[in-house]
Structure 1
Amino acid sequence: MPTKSRRRGSGEGAIYQRESDGRWVAVVDAGYINGKRRRFTAYAKRRKDAAERLPELKRRAKLAGQQTTSIKTVAEFLTHWMDTSVRKNRAPTTIESYQGAIVNHIVPVIGSRRLAALERMDIQRMLDAVAAKDGVGPRSVENVSAVMRKALNDAVKWSLLETNPAQHTEIAKVPQADRKALTVEQARQLLFHVADDRFEALYALAAIYGLRRGECLGLRWSDIDHEAREIHIRQQVVVVNNAPLVTPVKTKKSSRNLPLLKDIDAALDRRRERQAEERLAAGEHWIEHDLVFASMVGTPYQPANHHKRWHASLKRAGLPDVPFHSLRHTAASFLVALNVHPRIAMEILGHANIKTTMEVYSHVQQPGMRDALESVENVLRHTVSSTA
């Protein structure tokens, strides 16, 4: 049986061989951190390999000591995490989304809690509070949970915590708000009333292709390929710090090529003519961005301004006051009515996975469920009456 041998090489730290299985153990004692004794340990079959692990263990012990001197609470840790990890590696929209989750939901509930004392029940309490808020949808709760889990994963990686207390939390079910879509007749009515609007083509793109608002506002003239008769969806306009910003579309599936339809092509031609007038009126103030739906001086259009314009258009057309995103559901309902295969619908709508498409399809098909079942009932009623 191997004997337990403790040795300390020059500058190596503590290395010893374990009696139970003969493995070599490298250990660095970081002392007391937040009232708890912290040791950083690595295992290896050979003493040489254990010695090679020591520099990393020392680095982790030093980092833990440095960070805990300034990081005491959950709020302090999340500020540090955003500054050192998120802002350097994430897209602007992701940064804003994470910051919103932290400021609006996480910090108000558990921000003052000591990080070292954070437990699963604290995070569960916070998630339950988020789910109970009015106007908060299931995706918002999932986002808060994901931010907390990712942040605490880094806390474990940085040796600030031994385990991630967010790992086994549960998300309370939040009812999904009904998706509102314009009917075929309502969509016709809308396009009729916006025929003289500078955003006529934008509304048509959203109603027919199901483009997101950001994708419409990010569309460039160079994305209209007349030779191939295609529209290329490659970028979007998002809001960061209350300002419009052009970024690539979020996922690979969102980047897609759509057929250029005749009516859409004609609407885009009218938009090009109108923009030429706008460029002439702006004169030297025009800043070229090649955007189809630019501001009156060529810059990216502020989505908040379009939000107001959209609701004014609905009112003028005498239509229900629904979100602009409802046009995307309108497009999906058209695809369902025409029996378009979900895979093709997924490509048109730019969904990241077929699950999202099927959820949309199942929702859209609900109004048709009664008709289908009544048809079955009529068949059965005829059968039953004929045998009576």
Structure 2
Amino acid sequence: MAKRGHGDGSIYQRKDKRWVACLVLEDHTRKYLYGKTRKEVQEKLRTAIAEQKQGILATGPQQTLAAYLDQWLETVHKHTIRIITYQHYESLIRNHIVPGIGHITLQKLTAQHVQSLYNDKINDNLAPRTIAMMHAILHSALDNAVRWSLVSRNITDLVSIPRVTRRHEVKVLNPAEAKRLIEAAEGHRLKFLLILAITTGMRRGELLALRWSDIDFDQQILQVQRTVNRLGKYGFVENPPKTKSSRRRIVLSSIAIDALKEHRKMQDEARALAGAEWVEQGLVFPNIFGRFMDPNRLGELFHGLLKKADLPSMRFHDLRHSAATILLSLGVHPKVVQELLGHSTIVMTMDTYSHLLPSMQKDAMDKMDDALQ
């Protein structure tokens, strides 16, 4: 063993010429630090002693990032998130994070490793929003690793992520186009769902989870209390709305109330026609047998009606944007639109529909001219 320098602690050189520093931990176990030179391990030892005094020294077992992420997701994070979020996280970890950096030991993972992963994904044309979600996963996982004393700090704090831009071009219907779509749906079972989507701005999952018990026809009020998604092996999964603001009360228009009353009569006929095959779940917009409507089937029917109405292709979610755009263009206060859509803040509403502000300002100035002339 080579002679130790004053204040070095336990530093020695092995037969293979590698230098080793040994630090005795509070539980009397030892932590070994390795390097090519005496100076390198001496610096590592000094850092470790300082971290030990601060209570941030990583003392956990060595494992790959892949092994740790699997443990973290299955034993910790899975029980704090929704199934749909869990599936999304698991997919990103399996398809993007693990193939890129999963082989690296957790304790040896650096900001450069993570930054290179993001840069590779950018070069592969992965959406910035997806990379941002990967970053959120790694940041949360490494925060937990710090709490477990597996690493001394969260290196993702040192990583830059690409700027997130809107992934889809928002397409909206004006009032005339919305009316044309509804007219094209005359006689179609989707007509009443489209009316409610356009007049309330409800999300697809909220509409498909809506039950008759959620509607007060006397007060003309609808309660949004749940949402539904179809998730692979899990099938249809119902959850309460994700945020408190999403769980909301919507005052219905007369057009919507009349449509729902007509729809209820037609559903009674469909129930009788299905006979014993009908499964009563109290859904307002079920499939032809009373069960949850498949979101993909809804999309197919929706695109067929767009084509019939000679309207450009768009996502079903764009009906939500259409509802907000129509209301804002009619001068409805943004705070009312925020509450209708279930946005958590008015800032979210205005950021989403900021493209309308110039025309709204022009209307405001025209009104100012009228008032002062």
TM-score, normalisation: structure 2: 0.79
Q: 1:141 to 1:135 in 2, by over 3 A?
A: closer
**What SS does the aligned partner of 2:336 have?**
helix
How far apart are residue 86 of structure 1 and its match? Answer: 1.8
- The answer to whether 1:299 aligns with 2:294 is no
For 1:27, the equivalent position in structure 2 comes to 26
For 2:82, the equivalent position in structure 1 comes to 91
Q: Is the 8 A contact 1:332 1:360 kept in 2?
A: no
- The answer to whether 1:196 aligns with 2:187 is yes
For 2:146, the equivalent position in structure 1 comes to 156
How far apart are residue 135 of structure 1 and its match? Answer: 6.3
**What SS does the aligned partner of 1:266 have?**
helix
For 2:312, the equivalent position in structure 1 comes to 320
For 1:274, the equivalent position in structure 2 comes to 266
* Counterpart residue identity of residue 226, structure 2: Q
Q: Is the 8 A contact 1:236 1:247 kept in 2?
A: yes
For 2:16, the equivalent position in structure 1 comes to none
The separation in 1 between residues aligned to 2:66 and 2:33, in whole angstroms, is 16
The separation in 1 between residues aligned to 2:198 and 2:128, in whole angstroms, is 24
Q: 1:292 to 1:132 in 2, by over 3 A?
A: farther
Residue pairs, 1:29-68, within 5 angstroms: 29-32=28-31, 41=52, 64-65=60-61, 68=62
The separation in 2 between residues aligned to 1:129 and 1:202, in whole angstroms, is 43
For 1:167, the equivalent position in structure 2 comes to 157
**What SS does the aligned partner of 2:158 have?**
coil
Q: Is the 8 A contact 2:334 2:349 kept in 1?
A: yes
Q: Is the 8 A contact 1:246 1:300 kept in 2?
A: no
Q: Once the two structures are aligned, what percentage of the paired residues are identical?
A: 31
For 1:144, the equivalent position in structure 2 comes to 134
Q: 1:265 to 1:78 in 2, by over 3 A?
A: same
TM-score, normalisation: structure 1: 0.76
How far apart are residue 258 of structure 1 and its match? Answer: 0.7
Q: Is the 8 A contact 1:131 1:173 kept in 2?
A: no
In the alignment of these two chains, the number of paired residues is 327
Q: Is the 8 A contact 1:131 1:174 kept in 2?
A: no
How far apart are residue 101 of structure 1 and its match? Answer: 2.2
Q: Which moved more, 1:129-138 or 1:190-199?
A: 129-138
Q: 1:107 to 1:321 in 2, by over 3 A?
A: same
The separation in 2 between residues aligned to 1:291 and 1:304, in whole angstroms, is 18
**What SS does the aligned partner of 1:335 have?**
helix
For 2:197, the equivalent position in structure 1 comes to 206
CA RMSD across the alignment: 2.8
Of the three residues 69, 74, 77, the one matched with 1:78 is: 69
**What SS does the aligned partner of 1:28 have?**
coil
What whole-Å deviation, never above 9, does each CA across 1:153-179 have from its counterpart, x for those lacking one? 111112221111112322212442431
**What SS does the aligned partner of 2:249 have?**
strand
For 1:383, the equivalent position in structure 2 comes to none
For 1:12, the equivalent position in structure 2 comes to none
How far apart are residue 302 of structure 1 and its match? Answer: 1.5
What whole-Å deviation, never above 9, does each CA across 1:102-138 have from its counterpart, x for those lacking one? 1233223212222121011211222333445446253
**What SS does the aligned partner of 2:230 have?**
strand
**What SS does the aligned partner of 2:326 have?**
helix
Structure 1 segments unaligned to the other structure (5+ residues): 1-25, 44-52, 380-388
